Structure 1
Amino acid sequence: MLTLIQGASLYTPTYQGTKDVLLAGSKVIDIQSNIELETSTSVKKINAREYILAPGFVDSLVHITGGGGEAGFASRTPEMNLTDATLSGITTVIGALGTDSSSRTLSNLIAKAKGLKEQGLNVFCHTGSYHLPAKTLTGSITDDLMYVEEFVGVGEVAISDHRSSQPTVQQLAQLAAEAKVAGMLSGKSGIVSVHVGPQKSHLTLLHEVASNTDIKLCAFYPTHMNRNKALLDAGVKFCNAGGTIDFTASTTQYDLEHGEYSAAQALAYCINQGVSPTQLTISSDGHASLPIFDQQLNLVGLEIGKEDSLHHAFVQAVQQFSVSIEHALMAITNNPAKILGIDKGYIATNCDADLVLLDKKTLIPSYVWSNGILMVEQSTPLVKGMFE
């Protein structure tokens, strides 16, 4: 079947005006101001004049197998369901392990990724976890990236956090060097995703690696950069030196009341500080455990990350913090895709049909396609996970 989306306000993610977009199979096959079809083939036509057509969202950090609970075994968070992503306009996720790489394993991560892919979602993963030396599936980072198609990088490796393995400059440099070479050999990004905690060392370790070795700052992709203003300012400095940073959309009211910036606020702040919008991304940290620690690092609460926080951050950036739709979309589509080295996050002729139609007034996802499969129609899931 052909699908003709008519009269949409097209963002690729840059604004292209009012366009018709034609889908066939898993691809976008034509984009024009007006497409007229003369065919006996069945055509599904969608009047999109009240909609924004955007690339499917790319969520660069999701704990698809759940996160380890800092409050013991009973607090291990559940796995992500398919519709946790699709109902929020997400068509691509990058899965990772975090604090727990014992009860949460890389083999389970890859199995979950393959299962979600069978159901239509685009899924990639990182090998490793918070701690060094990095755990791998095959015995080496190089082999993981070269021979496991889902792996695109390493992480999320923790720094500036009491839960990290307290890595040294040499350890982190060796890790980044191996990931870089593995990426070169496999045609992947070999990016190192870095979990940045709230400690005052901030990104010092990454700058020391770049200053003392041939590893560039762009080899690292630090996330959770909106924890507080000091870390956010360190992120501005990191971007000015050539890096890119990521903000976490999932948060807790406690953290917001104790100095954390919302992802939307952080995005607006950095743009206003002169950082290029191409250097900024937002991820959901979906299904992660969100521990709340007091100043003595005692656990005082625990919540769970949600994939729909990515869409909420996009809406909040546009509606509350006056970020342009283009810049807000870039942060959750093309920017993370480019950093991760995956061919997603944009709309063009012959690209994968990963698309979302957003209501112009509310910005709510109404239609969602992943690889040409209509996953969501009128905000109702047409495709669900096997056990949903």
Structure 2
Amino acid sequence: MTRHAHDAPLMTLLRVGRILAPEPREETDILIANGRVAALGRDLAIPEGWPVALIEAPELTAVPAFIDQHVHVTGGGGEGGCGTRCPEITAHEIASMGIATVVGVLGTDGISRSPADLLAKVRGLCAEGVSAYMYTGSYRVPPPTLTGDLQRDLAWIPEIIGLGELAISDHRSSQPRQDEIARLVSDTRVGAMLAGKRGICHFHVGDGKRGLEPLRRLLAETEIPADQVIPTHVNRHRALLEEAVDYALTFHACVDVTAFEDAGEDGLSAFDAVSLLLDRGVPRGQITLSSDCNGSLPEFDAKGEYLGMKVARNTALITDWQRLVREQVLPLEEALGLISGNVARVLGLHDRKGHLAVGFDADVTLINDALQPQCTFVGGRCLYDGR
């Protein structure tokens, strides 16, 4: 890679081997200005004296930077007491995996960690260059909020894009009634409408016997649209994944697969889960991947007693995604949707993320032939250069 930088470059010109936007493009140059893609072209000429940083990487492929919609940015855990709280994630840990955008969540612990803590961490990541958002709430019902009202959180706080991760079918949940679920989703929808947001409800699904039934009832018995309701961890065990197949096909709904670092005896890896969903006929546009990183991976016995835990990382997200391409489950340009375009659409960010096009955020990941992220640009700023 060669660089030519001015003291304070206002623009960046990336010259790469190829561009997948995610569709293949003839252009090999990306001009970035003011944090957005200003032009795509080939051998773009820059007038002499213009404040442009030139980055040449002819051996790499430029793709839309990855989006992780489920990250415990403040750390998850706590199921085994205060000594089992997971650590916060760093901007480097995010960008080194080719990820430009994250959505922060609170999980089981909505007591020692709060939406205020989460917002502070999200704003801190933004200050470091990461594109960061958050869900208000946690596992609990009623959900903890910043303003004391779910609709106000959505309407007045720009970083909040939905409610989550609200827990169902889990012994750690608040065991919400069906009418409580409907009310929370409705409030999220209205609050988001007032702010021009999608306002998704990100549902943690445990391994309880009710599975996805609360969400099936919600969509069958109310007017809530399916694109507002996103169940995650649907690959927790095979029976739940089979139920997710029927849920996705019946309601034309999206399902989120978790890239578990250790799927265990009952769970399925993200690779296995996506392969099964596609084999059962679920359209690839209805499937997303997320990491659950820096969350806890607790183990309980049959009586719900805590046995131990591990800390989730985001490395499995990339390795399972790479495997889907290497083993030809999906071609590269289609597999990109699982961690980029599809996620942007689910979150309501598809007008500026998940695609390399003029006017979109300059969130670009450069990958090598082994599909390994080498550089990550967020809003045109290089946050990771691993070469």
- Contact 1:158–1:164 under 8 Å retained in 2: yes
- Aligned partner of residue 299 in structure 2, secondary structure: strand
- Aligned partner of residue 58 in structure 2, secondary structure: coil
Asked whether 1:188 is paired with 2:188, we answer no
1:42 Cα offset (Å)? 4.5
Q: What is the rounded CA distance, in whole Å, between the counterparts of 2:226 and 2:177 in structure 1?
A: 16
Cα RMSD after superposing both structures = 1.6
2:383 alignment counterpart: 375
Asked whether 1:349 is paired with 2:358, we answer yes
Q: What is the rounded CA distance, in whole Å, between the counterparts of 1:3 and 1:186 in structure 2?
A: 32
- Contact 2:270–2:320 under 8 Å retained in 1: yes
Asked whether 1:247 is paired with 2:257, we answer yes
- Aligned partner of residue 134 in structure 2, secondary structure: strand
Q: Deviations over 1:262-291 (max 9, x none)?
A: 112211221222211111101111110111
Give, as a single letter, the amino acid of the residue that structure 1 aligns with 2:260: S
Runs of 4+ in 1 over 6 A off after TM superposition: none
- Contact 2:363–2:380 under 8 Å retained in 1: yes
Q: What is the rounded CA distance, in whole Å, between the counterparts of 2:111 and 2:52 in structure 1?
A: 50
Q: What is the rounded CA distance, in whole Å, between the counterparts of 1:154 and 1:145 in structure 2?
A: 9
Q: 1:45 aligns with which of 54, 72, 75?
A: 54
Calculate percent identity across the aligned residue pairs: 35
2:333 alignment counterpart: 326
1:43 Cα offset (Å)? 3.8
- Aligned partner of residue 216 in structure 2, secondary structure: helix
1:201 Cα offset (Å)? 1.5
Asked whether 1:8 is paired with 2:17, we answer yes
1:127 Cα offset (Å)? 0.4
Q: Deviations over 1:241-264 (max 9, x none)?
A: 221010111332xx43x1211112
Q: What is the rounded CA distance, in whole Å, between the counterparts of 1:123 and 1:247 in structure 2?
A: 20
Q: Deviations over 1:43-90 (max 9, x none)?
A: 433333321211111100001111132111100011111111011111
Instruction: Give the TM-score, by structure 2 length.
Output: 0.93
Q: Deviations over 1:15-48 (max 9, x none)?
A: 3245221122312111124423333224433333
Asked whether 1:160 is paired with 2:196, we answer no
- Contact 1:8–1:18 under 8 Å retained in 2: no
Structure 1: 5+ residue stretches without partners: 381-388
- Aligned partner of residue 285 in structure 2, secondary structure: helix
Matches within 5 A, 1:61-100: 61-100=70-109
1:323 Cα offset (Å)? 2.2
Q: What is the rounded CA distance, in whole Å, between the counterparts of 1:205 and 1:321 in structure 2?
A: 35
1:287 alignment counterpart: 294
1:106 Cα offset (Å)? 0.6
Q: Deviations over 1:133-157 (max 9, x none)?
A: 1111101111000111110000101
Q: What is the rounded CA distance, in whole Å, between the counterparts of 2:313 and 2:187 in structure 1?
A: 32
1:314 alignment counterpart: 321
Aligned length: 375
- Return 29-38 or 227-236, whichever deviates more: 29-38
Q: 1:111 aligns with which of 114, 120, 126?
A: 120
Q: What is the rounded CA distance, in whole Å, between the counterparts of 1:271 and 1:34 in structure 2?
A: 39
Instruction: Give the TM-score, by structure 1 length.
Output: 0.92
Asked whether 1:36 is paired with 2:45, we answer yes
